[in-house]
């Protein structure tokens, strides 16, 4: 697998995992989404918004026009899950589109991220690895928080097994997302 294909497959898996998690969260009441919980962020909706706003920061940087701290203003831009889900899906599409264009030169080019005291310069591949790790980390937190609600946490630990039975299990999600196995792997 080439590095470009690897990062693209990660972008698709990231979108699929976000879809599965947000579909589960869609079944929570607004009160359950906002209820105080033990975690790094104090609620499910807060954590989901953090995932999205960090995506905005890093995806804009990858696209060459980093929005910087504006990504976090306000800290919780969406209180309704339907709005957050729409915006997360748009961010996921932007990331997939960006990764579709990657080549060896782009992966080693530097991304600039304005910070409070300096401009952080990182290679694109490191930013992508950081972004995917960030997503996995915070989705895991939401997954754990869901255990204390009326909604069962969805399975998030799959990475597109080739087995036809496994493909059949994700086919409904893929249909909702407009994904196919061929789109991801060819």
β-pair partners for 111: 122
β-pair partners for 110: 123
Look up the pTM and report it. 0.96
Dihedrals φ, ψ of 137, to 5°? -55, -55
β-pair partners for 174: none
Q: How far is CA 47 from the centre of its chain?
A: 12
Q: Structural domain tally of the chain?
A: 1
Give the domain extent around 59: 3-185
CATH number of the CATH domain containing 81: 1.20.120.450
pLDDT for 2:
93
Per-residue pLDDT of the chain (186 residues; tens, 9 = 90+): 899 999 999 999 999 999 999 999 999 999 999 999 988 999 999 999 999 999 999 999 999 999 999 999 999 999 999 999 999 999 999 999 999 999 999 999 999 999 999 999 999 999 999 999 999 999 999 999 999 999 999 999 989 999 999 999 999 999 999 999 999 998
DSSP one-letter string for 134-175: HHHHHHHHHHHHHTTSSSPPPP--------HHHHHHHHHHHH
């Amino acid at each position: 697998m080439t590095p470009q294909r690897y990062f693209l497959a990660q972008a698709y898996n990231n979108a699929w995992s976000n879809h599965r998690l947000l579909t589960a969260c869609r079944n929570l009441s607004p009160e359950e989404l906002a209820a105080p919980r033990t975690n790094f962020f104090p609620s499910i909706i807060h954590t989901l918004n953090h995932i999205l706003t960090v995506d905005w920061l890093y995806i804009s940087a990858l696209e060459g026009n980093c929005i910087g701290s504006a990504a976090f203003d306000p800290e919780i831009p969406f209180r309704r899950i339907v709005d957050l889900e729409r915006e997360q899906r748009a961010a996921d599409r932007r990331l997939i589109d960006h990764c579709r264009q990657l080549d060896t030169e782009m992966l080693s080019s530097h991304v600039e991220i304005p910070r409070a005291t300096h401009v952080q310069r990182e290679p694109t591949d490191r930013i992508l690895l950081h972004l995917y790790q960030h997503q996995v980390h915070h989705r895991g937190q939401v997954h754990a928080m869901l255990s204390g609600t009326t909604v069962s946490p969805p399975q998030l630990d799959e990475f597109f097994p080739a087995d036809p039975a496994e493909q059949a299990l994700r086919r409904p999600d893929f249909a909702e997302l407009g994904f196919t196995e061929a789109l991801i792997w060819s």
